[in-house]
Chains A and B, each alone.
Chain A
Amino acid sequence: MIQATRARQLSPIAHLGDATMRLLGDTGAMFLFLLEAFGRIFRSWGQFSKTVRQVYFVGVKSVSIITLISLFTGMVIGLQMYYALAKFGADGFLGAAVSLSLVRELGPVLTAIMITGRAGSSMTAEIGVMRISEQIDALRVMDINPISYLVSPKLAASIICFPILTAFFDLMGILGGYLTGVLLLGGNSGVYWYRVGAYLKLNDISGGFIKSLVFGVVVCTVCCFMGYYTHTRRDAVGPEGVSQATTAGVVVSCVLILLTDYILTSLLF
C-alpha cells in the first residue's frame, strides 16, 4: 500500500523522466538520421537526378509563394519604418533599415517558415504515407536504402534551395520596401538604394546565408524524420498518424528555426 502510494506520488516525476528520456532518444536518433542522410548524398551518380527533381519541388515550386510573401513583407516594413524614421527626420535611412532587417533576420527566418509549410509538410506526408503503405518495406527488401532513396536527395535540395530562396526573398523584400517607402510615400529613390549599398556588409549577407543553410538542414531533417518514423508514434496510427506526424514536423521545425535563429544571431553578429 505504502509502495503504491509512493509510486503514485512519484508518477509525475517518472512521467517527466520518461518524457526527458524520449526527447533525448529522439534528438540522438534525429542526429544519426541526419548523418546517414548527409553521408548518402554523394553515394552515387543516381542521386543527382533525384536531387534535381527535389530542387524543382522544394525550390522552383516555392518561388511564387516566396515572391508574394517577400514583397508584402518588404512593403509592410517600408511602410512602418518610414513613419517611425520620419518622426526623427531619419527617413533617408529607410533603405538601410529595410535591407538590414531583411537580410539578417526576416529573410532567412520567413523563407524557412514558408518552405516548411509548403515543402516540409509534404516531405513528412509523402514519407509517412510510404511508411504506412509498406512502400518503405518494399524498398528495404529490394535492398534500396530508404534514407538514401528518399531523404538524401531532399536534404541536398534543401541545402541548395534554402540560400537561393532566401536571397530571392531579400531582393524582393528590399524592392517591396522601395515600392512603399519611395514610390508610395515619396522617399528619395537615390538615397534609398545608396543606403542599401552603404550599410549592407558582406558579413550581413554571409550571416543570412549561413542561417538559411542551417534552417534548410533542420527543416528537412525534422520533417523527413517525422515521416520516416510515423509508425512508431504513440498518439495515433495509420492515416491519423501521418497527419499527426505532419503537424509535428511543421511545429517542431518552426520552433527549431526560431531557436537556432537566436543562437546563430548571438554567434554571427
Chain B
Amino acid sequence: MTQQIIPATPDIRLEGLSIGYGGVPVVSGIDAVLPGGKITVILGGSGSGKSTLLKHILKLQPVIAGRVVIDGHDVNSLDRRGLHCLRQRMGVLFQDGALLGSLTLGDNVSLPLREHTRLKEREIRERMMATLALVGLEEFHDYFPNELSGGMRKRAGLARAMVMEPALLFCDEPTSGLDPVTAAELDQLLLELKRRWDMTLVVVSHDLDSMRTIADHVIVLGDGWMLFQGGRVELEATQDEYLRRFLDRKAADRDTPLLTLPPLDMRVMKRDCSEYLEEK
C-alpha cells in the first residue's frame, strides 16, 4: 500500500450497499457512482439516511451488505495501513463542526499536522494561519469553539478538513442552521475550494438552494431506497411524484386534520395569567 492510494480526483462507487445500525437497514440497494472531481450532493428528507450513508462511506459504521469502493479500493477490506493512507487524504466537515472543545481553533486546525507530519512548529503555525485565512477566521485562531457562532464553527471545521489538502472532502449538512447569507457564503467557499484544489466533494444536505448552487451530481434518498441519481438538470426535470413534491417544497397530502386540536381552557393552567392578559 503506497501513498498514491488516492489520485487527485477519485471516484466513489457504492455497489449494492445496505446501510443501517445493528443489522437493521435504514437504506438498501444503493448502486451509485459519485464522480471524481465533481460535487455530489446527497439529498433527502429528515431521517432518510443521508448522514448514515456518509458515516458508512467514511467507515465509521460497518455496512450491512455491499461495498464502498474508492478509486478501486474496497474501503471495508482495506488493512490498517491502507485505511491510514485513505483517511490522510480525506477531509470531513461534520454537522456542527465537531471541533475539539478543549483546543483553540488554531490547535484544532493544527491537530492533523501535528499528528501526521514532521513539520516544525513554525511551519505548522504558518500553515494553520493560512488555512484559517482561507475561511476568514485567522483573527480567531486563539478562540475556543464555544466562543464562536455556529457559522464560524462550521468554517473552522472546514479549515480543519482542508489543512491536509484532501483529495476527498465530505461535508455533512454544511448550511443547516445558518442564515441565508452565511449559507450562500459557505456554498461559494465550497465551489472555490473545488475550483482551486480540483477535489471530489460529497455534500449531504436537504437545502435545495444549496443543491442548486453547488451540485454537479445528485443522489436522492427516501423511503429506505435510493430514489434518484444523476445530474442536477435531470433531477429538476423529473416527473416522479415524490421528487417533484420535494423539489417544489410541497407538503404531503394528509387526511389528518392538523388544526382541530380541542381548545385548551385557561382555567387548567397552573398559574393564572388571565388578569395580566386582559390588561394588555
| A residues neighboring B (CB under 8 Å) | 46, 126, 129-130, 133-135, 137-144
A260 to B126, CA, bound (A): 51
Closest to A143 in B: B87
Q: How far is the CB of A232 from chain B (nearest CB, A)?
A: 10
Q: Flag whether B115 is at the interface (Cβ < 8 A).
A: yes
A134 to B157, CA, bound (A): 12
Asked if A142 contacts B87 (CB within 8 A), the reply is yes
Asked if B95 contacts A134 (CB within 8 A), the reply is yes
B25-66, CB under 8 A of A: which get 1 and which 0?
Answer: 000000000000000000000000000000100101000000
Selected from B83, B101, B102, B115, the residue in CB contact (under 8 A) with A142 is B115
Asked if A144 contacts B92 (CB within 8 A), the reply is no
Most chain B CB neighbours (cut-off 10 Å) among A133, A135, A141: A141
Q: How far is the CB of A100 from chain B (nearest CB, A)?
A: 42
Q: Which residues of B contact A129 (CB under 8 A)?
A: 101
Asked if B115 contacts A144 (CB within 8 A), the reply is yes
Q: Which residues of B contact A142 (CB under 8 A)?
A: 87, 92, 111-112, 115, 160
Most chain B CB neighbours (cut-off 10 Å) among A46, A130, A142: A142
Q: Flag whether B84 is at the interface (Cβ < 8 A).
A: yes
Q: Flag whether B90 is at the interface (Cβ < 8 A).
A: yes
Q: Flag whether B144 is at the interface (Cβ < 8 A).
A: no
Q: Flag whether B104 is at the interface (Cβ < 8 A).
A: no
Q: Which residues of B contact A137 (CB under 8 A)?
A: 55, 58, 60, 94, 98
Selected from A46, A126, A134, A143, the residue in CB contact (under 8 A) with B98 is A134
**Chain B 90-107 residues near chain A, CB threshold 8 A:** 90, 92, 94-96, 98-102
Q: Flag whether B88 is at the interface (Cβ < 8 A).
A: yes
Closest to B170 in A: A141
Asked if A46 contacts B111 (CB within 8 A), the reply is no
Can you list 20 contacts pairing A with B, beta carbon distance less than 8 Å? A130-B101, A133-B96, A134-B94, A135-B98, A135-B100, A135-B101, A137-B55, A137-B58, A137-B94, A138-B94, A138-B98, A138-B99, A138-B100, A139-B100, A142-B112, A143-B83, A143-B87, A143-B116, A144-B112, A144-B115
A73 to B2, CA, bound (A): 61
Asked if A143 contacts B84 (CB within 8 A), the reply is yes
A140 to B90, CA, bound (A): 11
A134 to B111, CA, bound (A): 16
A142 to B102, CA, bound (A): 17
Q: Flag whether B245 is at the interface (Cβ < 8 A).
A: no
Q: How far is the CB of B68 from chain A (nearest CB, A)?
A: 14
Q: Which residues of B contact A138 (CB under 8 A)?
A: 92, 94, 98-100
Given that A46-B114, A142-B111, A143-B116 are contacting pairs, would A134 and B96 also be in contact in the complex, using a CB cutoff of 8 Å? yes
Asked if B60 contacts A141 (CB within 8 A), the reply is yes
Most chain B CB neighbours (cut-off 10 Å) among A130, A135, A140, A143: A143
Closest to A49 in B: B114
Q: Which residues of A contact B98 (CB under 8 A)?
A: 133-135, 137-138
